[in-house]
Chains A and B, each alone.
Chain A
């Protein structure tokens, strides 16, 4: 039988099928567009109500406050893609911020060395998470819930009730956050660079693609010979390093650091990642999405603060946004799944 003969009956179905495939591909990209759209709507509405909102200064303020969350969200994205989660990032940021500040306060290390020490500490904490999860085979959500408390406890232990204040810190350290590179505030600049590099690597490096594969179908990843455990470990290390970087910047930005710095940051980070369209069950999502998610949540927070809403509304709306984003995702996914199983059946 010739091949052409077979193609004929198949093609009757083909037009509809390809249309469906196109819609699916579009739906995948829809998320980022959706966030941009939501952003536009919020900006429009809030600007009409409070003209104060629509200023360069305010947008810069939003982006600066989002920058740290975005940096941590990049690492979190790598972890979530592999079907894991890192709940300890807030504690890592806090511990690194405090330790870095303390080293500078006591003049133990120079500014550069202290910054490096902070990043290495983040790496170590991430590696410990990775070890517990890959070698100890403890589910990530439990393991990092444990280290969330341990790392935070460590910060309190080291602090012993003290805190690091603005006057304790050298000017060159504090300048990092207030300086600019090419006219862009350093915080924003570093977040953009980190996100861009990560986005490139996830899309174009073999390792990046393997992270997606692990999360998409762990069993198949094993069969194909992808070193899942090593890569999951690597994702946690990356997440730790980026939380370390964020910790160093945290101290520089706020100047005052106590042992409970960045408490609860992990939830903001995970919210950003999820709102940004990274599937909490792994396998799909992008760094760009996660960063946009962070910006959306940051903008909403800013808008609500400017509109003088109570803290309750702030949190409730944050929560609603998460549910809306994830709910829409699930609905779209289910919808297509249903269509597909129907056309797939005989």
Chain B
């Protein structure tokens, strides 16, 4: 690869969202005719960087340079006008419109009187797909296409405007093996045409197969950029993980009791396969893995939101049938979901109303809620979990992220559960509140709850979990006891590089 002036450069770019510094002084250059992989843990700032290139966010500090010239993007349309095309993990197309129309939506070929020339449109689209070496019917609606084919439509769309920079945000996440191969072949072809491809990914095998150079982000900072020949997957993982302080994790010793939850051969087709584990009372079992590896999906099945295709679940030694969240709650399994706003809280309700929500029936006499009992109960739990609010009648929407999370946990504690499934409990929570949520989790374990902790933050798992299961593409790739845990080992297993 010969070096010239980079097509697109980020120079000292920083971006902050509230208290979170998503990107800190990041400088990365993309050359013409290279596939440049961008890797990092979940939350390292990859998505923010992609959104800046897409024109969705504007950097707080630093700048973009296109062909050495300062570039200010005023929105997604502006990015595209400058030849920067972004292909998101979930393609954003018009499902009812034809493939050809989607490709040329911004510049449909016109005939007489400005009427859309459908024949020319189809011809051009067919030519474009043919140049990619893909057989794709162009006069069918996009609604019927697989994610992989929709990505190709996005790629064709980018080529239709002669994009010079193509950003692909975790494009392989939803693809099958041979779809990935096809995508790679096309990516190489684009590279050979002189397009600069930024390939955001975190599967090491893929990165080292497709990329010419790799840039690593960690906690919003740029760690290193090197050619793939200068790095090994192991070194890359080490750069992704780094070394961090562990004072945030006040883990207390809990006495481990009987087996509370036992999962045997749990399978949901196409999502996860043959997953088995046990959680004892007082234990915290971590579930690690990349986004999409099947972590949350397992929790969703255990809570009865989705159904398993095979496998058995026992609670406190008794085989359990979980067909709905109501079943799960009856068995003492509760779930604190990843997205508090969407699934965890009713933001317009007061703290008390949120906490009493799952036990409304129990608090009712005849048809009427006992408001006094609701209030007392909510006050008790709020105190126990130290929810900072003016009173339990304050609306949940006015609380900070950390306090909202405490309310979600309180809501489930009120049902007196046996098993607590926590999905990214500290996501979007500031550092101080994080430590508090960790302390609460730890105390709940001491009180005898069996806890499953799903987290993308390795230090959190290392600090809190007694054992960690690492999932890779829907299978348990490795299991580590507390004393065997290291970030490198987890990351290697999660990226498909298990040592065993």
Contact = CB atoms under 8 A, between A and B. Distances in A.
Interface of A: 1, 3-7, 9-11, 14, 18, 20-22, 24-25, 28, 200, 203-206, 209, 212-213, 215-217, 219-221, 223-225, 279, 283-284, 336, 340, 343-346
A102 B420 CA distance: 73
A2 B143 CA distance: 30
Contacts of A209: 97, 101, 105, 108, 116
A28 to B, nearest CB: 7
Contacts of A345: 176, 269-270
A66 to B, nearest CB: 27
Given A205-B116, A212-B96, A224-B77, A24 B141 contact: yes
Nearest to A4: B133
B419 to A, nearest CB: 29
Name which of B114, B132, B178 has the most chain A CB atoms within 10 A of its CB: B178
A18 B99 CA distance: 13
Given A11-B135, A21-B140, A3 B92 contact: no
Interface in B132-155: 132-135, 137, 139-141, 143-148
Contact of A223 (B77, B114, B139, B145): B77
Nearest to A279: B96
Contacts of A340: 144-146
12 contacts: A1-B188, A3-B185, A6-B182, A10-B134, A24-B141, A206-B114, A215-B96, A217-B94, A283-B96, A284-B96, A345-B176, A345-B270
Nearest to A14: B135
A7 B181 CA distance: 10
B180 to A, nearest CB: 10
Given A24-B141, A204-B115, A209-B108, A346 B94 contact: no
Contacts of A6: 133, 181-182, 185
A279 B118 CA distance: 23
Nearest to B143: A24
B94 A283 contact: yes
A206 B135 contact: no
Nearest to A1: B185
Given A7-B135, A24-B143, A224 B106 contact: yes
Nearest to A206: B108
Nearest to B95: A216
Given A203-B116, A206-B108, A21 B96 contact: no
A7 B132 CA distance: 10
Contacts of B443: none
Interface string B170-183: 00000111110110
B361 interface: no
Nearest to A222: B76
Q: Residue among B132, B143, B145 with the most chain A CB within 10 A?
A: B143
Interface in B65-107: 76-77, 92-97, 101, 105-106
Contacts of B341: none
Nearest to A346: B176
Interface of A, helix, strand, loop or mixed by DSSP: helix
Which of B144, B175, B179, B270 has the most C-beta atoms of chain A within 10 angstroms of its own C-beta?
B144
A205 B76 contact: no
A215 B223 CA distance: 44
Contacts of A9: 178, 181-182
Nearest to A204: B115
B189 interface: yes
A243 B118 CA distance: 31
A1 B209 CA distance: 12
B172 to A, nearest CB: 11
A128 to B, nearest CB: 29
B140 A213 contact: no
B140 A25 contact: yes
Contact of A346 (B134, B141, B184, B270): B270
Contact of B116 (A22, A204, A217): A204
A225 B78 CA distance: 9
A182 B188 CA distance: 63
Interface string B275-305: 0000000000000000000000000000000
Given A225-B106, A340-B144, 18 more contacts: A3-B133, A10-B179, A14-B135, A22-B140, A24-B143, A203-B116, A205-B114, A209-B105, A212-B96, A213-B105, A215-B96, A216-B94, A217-B95, A224-B106, A225-B76, A344-B146, A344-B148, A346-B175
B94 A21 contact: no
A55 B116 CA distance: 41
A213 B97 contact: yes
B97 A223 contact: no
Contacts of A206: 108, 110, 114, 116
Nearest to B99: A21
A217 B142 CA distance: 12
Nearest to B131: A3
Contacts of B101: 209
Interface string B182-226: 101100110000000000000000000000000000000000000
B114 A213 contact: no
Please indicate which of the listed interface residues B94, B115, B132, B141 has the most CB atoms of chain A within 10 Å of its own CB: B94
Interface in B392-413: none
Contacts of A223: 76-77, 92
B487 to A, nearest CB: 28
Nearest to A11: B135
Contact of B94 (A14, A20, A213, A343): A213
Contacts of B115: 200, 204-205
Contacts of A279: 96
B97 A216 contact: yes
B193 to A, nearest CB: 13
Contacts of A22: 140
B189 A3 contact: yes
Nearest to A10: B182
Contacts of A224: 77, 105-106
A140 B108 CA distance: 30
B121 to A, nearest CB: 10
A25 B108 contact: no
A297 to B, nearest CB: 24
B187 to A, nearest CB: 11
A5 B114 CA distance: 41
Given A21-B140, A204-B115, A217 B182 contact: no
Contacts of B108: 206, 209
A22 B144 CA distance: 10
A32 to B, nearest CB: 16
A225 B77 contact: yes
Contacts of B140: 21-22, 24-25
A343 B146 contact: yes
B96 A216 contact: yes
Contacts of B182: 6, 9-10
